[in-house]
Amino acid sequence: MTKVIIDTDTGVDDGMGLLYALVSPEIQVVGVTTSFGNVDVEKVTRNTAICMERLGSTAPLARGAERAIAGEAPTFNPQIHGHDGFGNANLPDPEYSNLVDVSAAELTIRLVDENPGELTYIGLGPLTNLALAVLLDPSLPQRLTRVVWMGGAAAHHGNVTPVAEADALHDPEAAAVVIGENWEFVQVGLDVTDETVFGVDDLQTVRQSSSPAAQLVAAGAPSYMDFYEPILGRYGCAMHSPLTIAVVAHPELVLAEQKYRMHVELTGTYTRGMTVVDRRVGRVGGPVWSNAPLITVITDVDRAAFITRYVQRITA
């Protein structure tokens, strides 16, 4: 069993991912933190608390960053995740029984101190909270050894700009801080998540289940799938965050990965937020970057096996 901290900006796919983690016996969720991202942090925290309470999770929940570490005010698009961040599902308010009176960064440090060398940090949104934790405690990477992030892209176009993925663009400075630290960093980016699709047949199966996780997915997913239909050319949605959970819970689903040097673009007029990967290994050209952080990029996964497993777990 892998102990994890999940940092999330719970919109629909993040909720689908959190639910998957909470029903997966391969993962022990020791804490959850929230951040602005798909919607504002208050709505994110509400959605996260709902998911945790419906599934009976007793892990601590900490509210996190309202904006990027450079102070840039966030913007939100309600057409993607709905005005409530959960597909306009109109869910009853949670009790916030898991919410603790410390910041996300402080809870992260506390949990790492309680489990030194044992935790995997799963980032499903901007990396703001983890960057703040590092700024509070620069020794954190000595005790938190692995970070798995749904963000950026290595050889894929962006989904907000031609080159930038949403979670990277929300806080490029935070991404640069985190990627530059001395821990194992795994990118589960658009290269694999964009083509991993939850489709109409999957939704129909989920709707037939009475499990709490399935009921939440059935409530939130349709609006998200409506948004994705013209993008995908069929009714469905990309499984960004659920696939990231699966990389940790089911590493056998990873078919290929590659070590690359990466920088985060901070100043480009058209490229801010791009995760720039040096893929020139074995090619003619200038010297390959030697001073950029070395990360692991997931480049292929067993999509069909993952979707099958996801639906089975959520409906059980």
Which position has the higher pLDDT, 289 or 142?
142
User: Which pLDDT score, from 0 to 100, does residue 280 have?
Assistant: 81
Give dist(CA 297, CA 294) in Å, integer. Answer: 10
| Known catalytic membership, residue 240 | yes
pLDDT digits (tens, 9 = 90+) for 45-74: 999 999 999 999 999 999 999 999 999 889
- The pTM is what? 0.97
The rounded distance, in Å, linking the Cα atoms of 300 and 302 is 7
Local confidence band at 285 (pLDDT 50, 70, 90 cut-offs):
low
- pLDDT score recorded for residue 282: 62
Mean pLDDT for the stretch of residues 240-262: 98
pLDDT in tens, 252-284: 999 999 999 999 999 999 999 999 999 886 666
| Band (137; pLDDT cuts 50, 70, 90) | very high
Per-residue pLDDT for 164 more than 80? yes
| Token pair of 54 as six digits | 């419906």
Domains of the chain: 2-315 (3.90.245.10)
Q: Of the listed 170, 240, 250, 263, which one is catalytic?
A: 240
